[in-house]
Amino acid sequence: MTIEDIMRTSPVIPVLVIEDAATARPLAEALVRGGLKVLEVTLRTPAALDAIAEMKKVEGAIVGAGTVVSTQQFEQAIAAGSEFIVSPGLTEQLAEPIVNSQVPYLPGVATAGDIMRGYALGLRHFKFFPAETSGGLKALKALAAPFYEAKFCPTGGISEVTAPDWLAFDPVLCVGGSWVTGGAVADVEARAGAAARLGR
Ligand SMILES: O=C(O)C(=O)C[C@H](O)[C@H](O)COP(=O)(O)O
């Protein structure tokens, strides 16, 4: 799968912070049942790598690592079975080995300079982060005009209320957010279902 295939799989990528790896598999099952197959597990907790390995056991799940900020984390994420890599920003130091590995990669950008550094590495798919505080949809529209080949997954401050506006902008293939798993665990499948229908 390419990063574009992954971004086109569902309109919302749930951004997950897993404190206990034992909760990972049932959570992934609920998200996939609801219709969200692409799952981003942030490497912000000690349980994250084990959570990725657990979620990979769920049929249909496409599991990636988020908050990857070092080559060491990239290597650990791949060893745990990550199928794609997301980072909050873009540096040559981290992006080069990931691009060379051909693992689907979604680096964060917030400025024209960020996107230009990504272009120089052959990248055309970016996370727009942090989306709302970087100027929101208005800022992304202005940025996307010169970079007409670029595709985006805005993340940061997006909710089920604002997601449809982002998804209506053509270069936006999907959005990321933590709202799907923000409430009660029992509600995750229904929230995922509602998220999966956004932009359709
Ligand atoms: O760690 C990363 O690399 C991130 O993706 C940052 C945050 O997890 C997202 O910004 C989620 O943002 P909210 O939906 O606003 O909670």
What number is the average pLDDT over the span 67-73?
98
Interface predicted TM-score (ipTM)? 0.92
Active-site annotation holder among 29, 37, 40, 83: 40
178 lines ligand 1 (CB under 6 A): yes
The 10s digit of each residue's pLDDT in 186-197 is: 999 999 999 999
The 10s digit of each residue's pLDDT in 134-172 is: 999 999 999 999 999 999 999 999 999 999 999 999 999
Cα dihedral value 41, 45, 49, 50, nearest 10:
-110
Measured CA distances, 48 to 51, 89, 142, 151 (Å): 5, 19, 35, 27
127 is known as an active-site residue: yes
15 lines ligand 1 (CB under 6 A): yes
Tell me the percentage of the chain whose pLDDT exceeds 70.
100
Considering only CA atoms, which residue is closest to atom 9 of ligand 1?
156
Q: Specify the DSSP class assigned to residue 157.
A: S
CA–CA separation, 194 vs 200, rounded Å?
11
For residue 67, the model assigns a pLDDT of 98
For residue 165, the model assigns a pLDDT of 97
For residue 63, the model assigns a pLDDT of 98
Residue 61 has pLDDT above 80, yes or no: yes
The 10s digit of each residue's pLDDT in 19-36 is: 999 999 999 999 999 999
Tell how far the Cα of 134 is from the centroid of ligand 1, in angstroms. 13
* Cβ proximity of 116 and 107 under 8 Å: no
CA atoms within 13 A on the CB side of 49: 11
Of residues 149 and 200, which shows the higher confidence score?
Answer: 149
| Cross-strand bridge partners of residue 63 | 39
Closest to 32 measured CA to CA, from 153, 172, 195, 160: 195
For residue 200, the model assigns a pLDDT of 65
Mean pLDDT, rounded, of the chain: 97
Q: Specify the DSSP class assigned to residue 155.
A: B
pLDDT band at 112 (very low <50, low <70, confident <90, very high): very high
96 is known as an active-site residue: no
For residue 13, the model assigns a pLDDT of 98
Q: Kindly list the strands in the beta sheet with 62-66, ordered across the sheet, starting from the edge strand earlier in the chain.
A: 151-154, 125-128, 105-109, 85-87, 62-66, 38-42, 12-16, 175-177
Task: Place domain 3-196 in its CATH homologous superfamily.
Answer: Aldolase class I (3.20.20.70)
Residue ranges covered by each domain of the chain: 3-196
Q: Specify the DSSP class assigned to residue 186.
A: G
What number is the average pLDDT over the span 40-61?
98
Considering only CA atoms, which residue is closest to atom 2 of ligand 1?
67
For residue 95, the model assigns a pLDDT of 98
Tell how far the Cα of 69 is from the centroid of ligand 1, in angstroms. 14
Tell how far the Cα of 42 is from the centroid of ligand 1, in angstroms. 8
pTM of this prediction?
0.97
